[in-house]
Structure 1
Amino acid sequence: MKKSTTDLFKTLSGTQKAAILLMLFGEATAAQIMRNLTPREVQHLGAAMYSVRGVDQDTLSLVLEDFFETLRLQTGLGFGAAGYIRNVLSSAFGEDKAETVISRIGQSSSERPLEILDWMDAPSIAELLVDEHPQIMALTVACLDHALAAQVLMLLPEAVQPEVIQRIASLNTVQPEALADLQHVMQRKFKASTTMRASQIGGVKAAARIMNFTRSAMEARILKDIRKDDKDLMQAIQDNMFVFDNLIKSDDRSLQTLLRAVENETLILALKGADELLKAKILGCMSSRAAANIRDEMEALGPVRLTDVQAAQKQIVAVARQMSDEGTIVLAGRGGELMV
């Protein structure tokens, strides 16, 4: 960046920087923002817009970089900020111009290690982590996309997998000093940021989402090992994994295939504890006659114990997960976000 450009940027007032951003974001967005300002603020901003006409591209890049850094510090926006920035810029002034601006910002912005990991495949990340402490593994895996995290987990030594999931489930607010260890790992290959704030990562739901992408055998082994150390934690993770109610998000063809593998008695008992939307979804995947028969048998069954209903639902979920592992059906909630 030219020294003259840097000097020019330093002379800009906050109002002038805001004016540059407004002009970038276009007339419609600028108008919406200015409607929320006082007449005096509009007057000052309008004058600033005249004063910064013809600003060069390098100064523009510095203004944008400063804006997003300020936004990150004020909101805690850290991990995944690259996607947010790209969406904002693309929405403001189109894909082509956004790419140009992003590339210029990227030249002068330090990369955060976990954003760099988005460009690495699972084997590369696993290789980077394999000799590290389980806490470092957990911090890293917890910050990945859940599908990628599961792939990395599968490539880590089996002996450490349960501990990694256990540590992820126990994570909550991670302070900068903890992330400093993670940065130390990443700096071997990439330049790490030194300005990270405390970030909300991990937790039981994050651990459950990762486990949803693993195969049933691996899941059972990991949960069994976690149970030895912390039975309540194991149950919490299990409760947040794919459950019977998640079937409402699956496609009709997958449900039809699943229903052919389930005994009517089990289905009737499971549906006794399902809400009306899920009942309608499942019965809608049957013929009218079959659905009517199921409804009649549900009414004839009368009151049932909750434990029996839960057992039947878990049995169906077990069948569904096995069929998902085999590739026979696709279960929403295992191939995407966990619905809870």
Structure 2
Amino acid sequence: MTKTNAGRFFEDYAVGDVITHAVPRTIQMGERALYHALYPARHALHSADTFAQSCGLPFSPLDDLVTFHTVFGKTVPDVSLNAVANLGYAEGRWETPLWPGDTITATSEVIGVKQNSNGKSGVVWVRTTGRNQHGAVLLSYVRWVMVRKRGDGPAPQTVIPDLSGSVAATDLVIPRGLDFTNYDFALAGEPHRMSDYKVGDIIDHVDGVTVEEAEHMLATRLWQNTAKVHFDATNRPDGKRLIYGGHVISLARALSFNGLANAQLIVALNGGAHANPCFAGDTVRAWSEVLNTAETTAPGIGAIRLRLVATKGTAGELRDDDGKYLPDVLLDLDYWALMPL
């Protein structure tokens, strides 16, 4: 009798199911060091206790995407081990900072299912919540994945969730004590405050990073992401390992420092799509578009809504005349970040 886990298939999901994900993960400074080694991450609030303390925090929180990757990795064996593709994100909110020594657990609720017309796969929507050891919500978000069917059995009844197009600026959670009144622009790396950006601005982040097999597999293992397509070269007809989409997100976010050094904290994920696959040898570049700005009730702090695009092509180019993503576009991510006014 087998005791191994082959992962869930499309038929194994039912709306209303709540999945408790293994295994709890305690995050320490080692994860920060590895994160900063894997990606050229340089945002000051996540780099120095002294800078964070000058902004009203007790010490420097871990990068927001460390929370995302760790929570996401917990879900893979139960949600996307047999996925064909991770399709999108919505309604993401960071509610509590992740501090060194915190232990992360995660659960997911199935909120939608829809079989594809080919009868061989279907789309599953889940709302995932990551919590710390005190039960406080660190992060919650919705994602949807295309999952293979086990066989030719009947499809579950279609349920498509009604999702918000974006998180309202009034619903953003500001970390307790955060204060940008005495913000040090010189130490942060750039002089640009929120009032220097206007809706419609396109920012070319200039630099590029060529993705290597070793680093993407190290990163994916770091987040305990066990999806077969990232490691097993026989799992795809082309014999290539698919780069974990979160690896592309972190590369693009790190590259965005050049032009958005003061977009210090990610507080919401409005939407996102992995437009085309990324493989080792691809050179990833990034550009951003300013979508909106808003004031907050916290001292000296504004919120800026950004489209972050990772591409192998040219800054500012996203879709063709038919509205489809250009083949060079890898990621289209819509998020809110906190920035000094």
User: Which TM class, normalised by the smaller chain length?
Assistant: under 0.3
* Greater share of residues in helix: 1
- What TM-score does the superposition give when structure 1 sets the normalisation length? 0.21
Higher relative contact order (CA 8 A, sep 6+): 2
* Greater share of residues in strand: 2
Rg larger in 1 or in 2? 1
